[in-house]
Structure 1
Amino acid sequence: MVAALPPTGVRVRVPAKINLALKVGPPRPDGFHPLATVFHAISLYDDLVAEPAPAGEFTVTVSGEDAELVPTDDSNLAIRAARRLAEAYAPAEGVRLSIKKAIPVAGGLAGGSADGAAALVACAALWALDLEQEELLAIAAELGSDVPFALVGGTAIGSGRGEQLVPALARGCYHWVLAFGTEGLSTPKVYGLYDELGGRTAPPPTVADELMNALRAGDAAALGESLDNDLQPAALTLRPVLRRVLDAGLDFGALGAVVSGSGPTVAFLAGSESAAIELSVALSAEGICRSVRRAVGPVHGARVVT
């Protein structure tokens, strides 16, 4: 159930995601690629605040990481989410949204999708809608492939466009070091180059048993060896410096490394908190990425913060 709060403003915190595995099939007739992926929510968050507004008024302001790159018109996914929720359940409502970003834009971490999910949760609470999670998930799936996972968080297996979710059998808490690229990567361009480079010629894509077994066992070393992303060669072609970043992190002792989603963020798995600290310091000193952050996972999806 979505908690109903007094209409004085609702704050929601929503996590970034990384793809522990991302297997990509050939394009479908609708242009989307069928996916088999393992989503993993990590402790890198955007915060969204929803405040009451007159019916039909939907606005958004953005501050924080890459704020200047985020649209504030009706193309903003948080605005689209609020409008769609109002159309379905609260036609007499409007909302003023403000987003404080820590998730890089166009970084392969689903920051825009996270904001869309946060808007659904915040507006449902602001407008005192008594909705089941399944009702929010249905709208989330209309908005984008990664929006449903941003609602639920944790670790989950995604199929279809990524919007069809099944919780993964997973144990343990994992320590991640994120190396952010100096500029974003366009998801359509990465997928387009993936197809040009050969892509996958026959469906369906599947996630390797080794990765799922590592998650079930809570085996960080085995998980590091199993990280996998079909889009990584395309991302490395578009941003050759990412190969240096990957090599450096592995040389500094990471258990494994993967370009997250369509990139350019590189996620390194460390064996412990202290190992993650050492790795982040070493990568920062190399000067080959814009910035470095530590995170843990899995964490919950979009949640109201009191």
Structure 2
Amino acid sequence: MSQLGIHALVWVTEWSETDIARACAATAKAGYGLIEAVIFDPAKARPEATARWLAANDLAAVTGMALNPAADISSPDPAIAAAGERLISDAILATRDMGSPLLGGVTHSAMHRYPTAAAPGTLARVIDTYARLSDKAQAAGIRLGIEAVNRYESNVVNTLDDAAAIVRAVGSPALFAHIDSFHMNIDEHDIAASIARNIDVIGHVHVGESHRGYLGSGSVDFPAFFRALVRAGYDGPIVFEAFSAATLSADVANALATWTAHWTDSADLARHALGFMQSGLEGARLSLAHPGPIARRQNG
């Protein structure tokens, strides 16, 4: 059974001890057992404080991150690529010290709009870097993820197949593919088929609506998404992710192109998302166990 969690950016943008305490308390109050902490800067990740507030609220954690133009392992500039590798290496250690079993996110390239396709040789460099990073992750006792994000946020890994190909090329048990319904809704041809053929490498799941707001109010086909996960036997963490201009700092909102306030009440959004995910997964289990009657009821 997958553990359901919520992304810290639903509650806070910064990660001071006050923010950590607030996010952890709000997560527990909303009924979740897991929070995803974002590591913008490993030097400011506060792993000891994070671990303390997780324990105080009886929460588990996973972590996520994203590279930036000055620290990007896909860059042809050796200094920028080396800075990206250092950033991930430091985030691996912070993740370990928080007690998180995995570090997911956009670890393959800087998360921003690229004007051209990736240059020849980019993928080979990225694979070589992941081979070293997976050794570091394994030594730290965690797993490192490769999140497939849409073509407006990366020119390296846009689909689950892209992420899975890197995982298989490296061949390390410390490396996994990270999927997100928001991104899959943009760039996948067949979400269910992609999950089915790559379930062996999927280690983390984000659940996000097409506009980053209330689940079920956009264009993502969540019944098909949840059925695909259940049919494939996925049992890893599933984290609700949503962003709003009403709650993010200006810098983070701009980085995520989140200029619209699709929601303003974090607590209400969080409670709704937990119920939506629980009912969606249970509905998927029932529809797969009893395909005839359930399918007829779902179709009205």
TM-score range, shorter chain: under 0.3
Q: TM-score, normalised by structure 1?
A: 0.26
Q: Which structure: greater helix fraction?
A: 2
Q: TM-score, normalised by structure 2?
A: 0.26
Q: Which structure: greater strand fraction?
A: 1
